[in-house]
């Protein structure tokens, strides 16, 4: 062990630099808001009601998203069919949409004037209402089920093919495979996925407000909005921001504590063949699950596309200029995300349990950081040194990278851990370290998750309105901001066209970086 002490501490140091940046952008910005506030804020009963609603809807949304993702990911992992790669890639699309676009797509299907109610009406059945807690949860599942599925498919495919061979040669049926292979894998992967989704839903603002139906659906993020711009009370905004961070850390500690590492050992990267799942009944079951999921996720996207397509060719020039800007920001943000996430993932994989857990919990912080607090804090921090407007795009890229970091880490971490467990000792004994280790061991083993993480980070950045709205001047608008500007100028048809452009570009970027979502790229 003494021989390993040095490389471990060095990896920790390398992983510590991104962690420090992350702390600056999350707790640092919160601190800046606190410092600027003249008095400490206090929280009233309305705030605690907001906390209760926020926790409840986040719990429901995250539970449903992760539970539903299990059968979907299992079906995707054990079946191969034409168009599977495209389906997996398309499943990522809801996650990268700007909120308002996704909400409009959901309403086109589930709204009062949506396809579903038109169908129910034609059959003489009573209409269903999307507005209320059910709508909030539905939208969060729409956003996050794809993410959960994609992460789980990855985890399923990380079970070495040899284990399934062994299971088959021992004559194991589906229930034994579930017990000995799939459940241990889920025990290790699900808590992290649940946590990520729970935290995303914790800072929900526009979804909860638009679909929530009224002030009953007040979230903590809306309370922060109110503090900033109705009460002009920075102290209360900062207190609420701190509360979000506390909730995030508490949830992280629980989730990371529940997760138990699976121990499948190394494999030879053979193609997985699933003899256990060849019965006709299981095939029909998987087909039904996939059809339902694809319908739920793709129908709203199809409606967005149908509505926007006619306006696409005639979109005004500034929208195209903004697209180029958004693409550049997305590429910069994706690069930065990987530069931050890879060292952190390696550090966590190599560190002893206690510092590893701390780093892992810290890496979740951006998810629970209010975008409004982050933007305001950044503004306060940068203002003494430079005009925030001239830094709008670099700042946006950096903020987007920070927000994508937790996802990138979730994607990289399992693979980094497996790589370290399976090949770490061998590499140590060969004295393989530094860049050589990165080139010969780490990068080849992590290609698949790195591409996925990069694609996701780029696409997330494309669709994010985030901090740009606080910084932009007329010359630095990104595509999501132009979309909002079109809406604010009554140009809803053009806005729908811009939404299709945004969807198309985000998806293309994701597809190219992730290389067609090839989950079997290693084989």
Partner 1 sequence: MRKSLMIAGLLSVAAPFSAVAQDKPVLTIYTYDSFVSEWGPGPAVEAAFEADCGCDVQFVGSGDGAALLARLLIEGKDSPADIVLGIDTNLTAEAAASGLFAPHAQALALDLPVAWSDPLFLPYDWGYFAFVYDKTKTATVPADFEALAASDLKIVIEDPRSSTPGLGLLLWVKQAYGERAAEVWSALADNIVTVTPGWSEAYGLFLSGEADAVLSYTTSPAYHLIAESDDSKAAMDFSEGHYLQVEVAGKLAGSDQPELADRFLAFMTTDAFQSVIPETNWMYPAKTPEAGLPEGFGTLVTPSKALIYDAEDARAIRDEALAEWQAALSQ
CB atoms within 10 A of CB 312: 17
Minimum separation from the CB atom of position 365 to partner 1 (A): 23
Contact 432, 389 (CB under 8 A): no
Of residues 36-55, which lie at the interface with partner 1 (CB under 8 A)?
Answer: 36, 46
Contact 272, 157 (CB under 8 A): yes
| Among residues 484, 504, 516, 518, the one that binds partner 1 under rule CB under 8 A | 484
| Among residues 12, 72, 76, 100, the one that binds partner 1 under rule CB under 8 A | 100
Minimum separation from the CB atom of position 46 to partner 1 (A): 7
Nearer to partner 1, 3 or 384 (CB): 384
| Residues near 218 by beta carbon (within 8 Å), at least 6 away in sequence | 46, 49, 50, 53, 208, 212
| Among residues 18, 85, 111, 414, the one that binds partner 1 under rule CB under 8 A | 111
Cα dihedral angle (453, 454, 457, 459), rounded to 10 degrees?
-110
CB atoms within 10 A of CB 394: 12
Site string for partner 1, 189-208 (x = CB under 8 A): ----------------xx--
Stretch that binds partner 1, among 5-13, 19-27, 179-187, 227-235 (CB under 8 A): 227-235
Does position 287 interact with partner 1 (CB under 8 A)? The reply is no
| Residue 12 CA to its chain's centroid (Å) | 25
Alpha-carbon span 277 to 140, nearest angstrom:
31
Q: Is 478 left (phi over 0), alpha (psi -120 to 50) or beta?
A: beta
Contact 114, 108 (CB under 8 A): yes
Nearer to partner 1, 307 or 448 (CB): 307
Nearer to partner 1, 262 or 478 (CB): 478
Minimum separation from the CB atom of position 506 to partner 1 (A): 18
Alpha-carbon span 490 to 86, nearest angstrom:
35
Closest by CA to 294, choosing from 77, 462, 92, is 92
The three-point CA angle 85-88-91 to 5° equals: 145
Nearer to partner 1, 459 or 495 (CB): 495
Does position 490 interact with partner 1 (CB under 8 A)? The reply is yes
Does position 28 interact with partner 1 (CB under 8 A)? The reply is no
Closest by CA to 375, choosing from 505, 228, 497, 501, is 228
Of residues 455-474, which lie at the interface with partner 1 (CB under 8 A)?
Answer: 469-474
Of residues 305-324, which lie at the interface with partner 1 (CB under 8 A)?
Answer: 316, 318, 324
Of residues 332-371, which lie at the interface with partner 1 (CB under 8 A)?
Answer: 332, 335
| Among residues 1, 2, 5, 113, the one that binds partner 1 under rule CB under 8 A | 113
CB atoms within 10 A of CB 353: 8
Contact 489, 397 (CB under 8 A): no
| Among residues 486, 498, 501, 509, the one that binds partner 1 under rule CB under 8 A | 486
Alpha-carbon span 439 to 436, nearest angstrom:
5
| Residues near 310 by beta carbon (within 8 Å), at least 6 away in sequence | 493, 497
Nearer to partner 1, 108 or 186 (CB): 108
Does position 299 interact with partner 1 (CB under 8 A)? The reply is no
Does position 476 interact with partner 1 (CB under 8 A)? The reply is yes
| Among residues 487, 516, 518, 522, the one that binds partner 1 under rule CB under 8 A | 487
| Residues near 26 by beta carbon (within 8 Å), at least 6 away in sequence | 245, 365, 366, 369, 374, 402
Nearer to partner 1, 69 or 237 (CB): 237
Task: Look at the alpha carbons of 367, 370, 375, 378 in this order and tell me if their dihedral is positive or negative.
Answer: negative
| Among residues 112, 179, 270, 425, the one that binds partner 1 under rule CB under 8 A | 112
Does position 512 interact with partner 1 (CB under 8 A)? The reply is no
What is residue 272's DSSP assignment?
A: P
Minimum separation from the CB atom of position 457 to partner 1 (A): 15
Minimum separation from the CB atom of position 236 to partner 1 (A): 13
Does position 495 interact with partner 1 (CB under 8 A)? The reply is yes
Site string for partner 1, 115-134 (x = CB under 8 A): ----------------x---
Of residues 372-411, which lie at the interface with partner 1 (CB under 8 A)?
Answer: 376, 379-380, 383, 387, 389-394, 397
Backbone phi, psi, residue 425, to 5°: -65, -40
Nearer to partner 1, 207 or 460 (CB): 207
Count, residues near partner 1 per rule CB under 8 A? 71
């Amino acid at each position: 062990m003494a021989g390993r002490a040095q490389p471990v501490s060095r990896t920790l140091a390398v992983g510590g630099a991104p962690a420090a940046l992350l702390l600056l952008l999350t707790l640092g910005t919160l601190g800046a808001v606190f410092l600027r506030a003249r008095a400490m804020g206090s929280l009233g009963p309305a705030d605690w009601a907001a906390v209760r609603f926020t926790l409840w809807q986040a719990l429901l949304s995250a539970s449903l998203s992760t539970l539903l993702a299990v059968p979907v990911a299992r079906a995707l992992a054990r079946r191969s069919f034409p168009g599977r790669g495209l389906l997996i890639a398309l499943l990522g699309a809801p996650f990268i949409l700007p909120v308002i676009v996704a909400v409009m797509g959901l309403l086109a299907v589930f709204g009062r004037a949506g396809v579903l109610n038109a169908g129910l009406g034609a059959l003489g059945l009573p209409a269903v209402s999307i507005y209320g807690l059910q709508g909030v949860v539905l939208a969060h599942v729409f956003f996050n089920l794809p993410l959960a599925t994609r992460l789980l498919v990855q985890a399923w495919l990380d079970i070495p093919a040899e284990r399934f061979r062994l299971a088959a040669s021992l004559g194991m049926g589906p229930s034994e495979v579930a017990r000995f292979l799939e459940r241990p894998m889920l025990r290790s992967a699900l808590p992290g996925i649940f946590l990520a989704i729970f935290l995303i839903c914790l800072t929900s603002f526009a979804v909860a407000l638009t679909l929530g139906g009224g002030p009953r659906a007040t979230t903590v993020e809306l309370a922060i909005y109110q503090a900033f711009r109705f009460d002009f009370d920075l102290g209360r905004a900062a207190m609420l921001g701190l509360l979000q961070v506390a909730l995030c850390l508490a949830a992280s500690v629980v989730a990371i504590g529940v997760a138990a590492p699976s121990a499948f050992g190394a494999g030879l990267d053979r193609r997985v063949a699933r003899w256990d799942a060849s019965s006709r009944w299981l095939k029909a079951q998987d087909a039904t699950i996939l059809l339902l999921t694809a319908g739920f996720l793709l129908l709203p996207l199809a409606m967005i596309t149908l509505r926007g397509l006619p306006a696409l060719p005639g979109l005004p020039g500034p929208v195209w200029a903004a697209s180029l800007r958004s693409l550049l920001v997305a590429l910069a943000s994706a690069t930065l995300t990987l530069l931050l996430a890879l060292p952190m993932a390696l550090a966590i994989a190599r560190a002893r349990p206690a510092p590893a857990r701390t780093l892992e919990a810290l890496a979740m912080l951006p998810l629970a950081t209010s975008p409004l607090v982050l933007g305001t804090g950044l503004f306060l921090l940068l203002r003494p040194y430079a005009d925030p407007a001239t830094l709008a795009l670099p700042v946006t890229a950096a903020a987007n990278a920070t927000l994508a970091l937790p996802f990138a880490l979730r994607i990289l971490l399992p693979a980094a851990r497996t790589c370290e467990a399976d090949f770490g000792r061998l590499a140590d004994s060969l004295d393989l370290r530094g860049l050589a280790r990165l080139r010969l061991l780490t990068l080849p083993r992590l290609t698949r998750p790195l591409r996925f993480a990069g694609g996701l980070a780029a696409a997330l950045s494309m669709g994010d309105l985030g901090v740009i709205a606080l910084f932009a001047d007329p010359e630095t608008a990104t595509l999501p901001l132009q979309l909002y500007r079109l809406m604010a100028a009554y140009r809803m048809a053009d806005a729908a066209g811009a939404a299709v452009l945004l969807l198309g570009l985000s998806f293309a970027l994701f597809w190219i970086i992730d290389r067609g979502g090839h989950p079997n790229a290693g084989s």
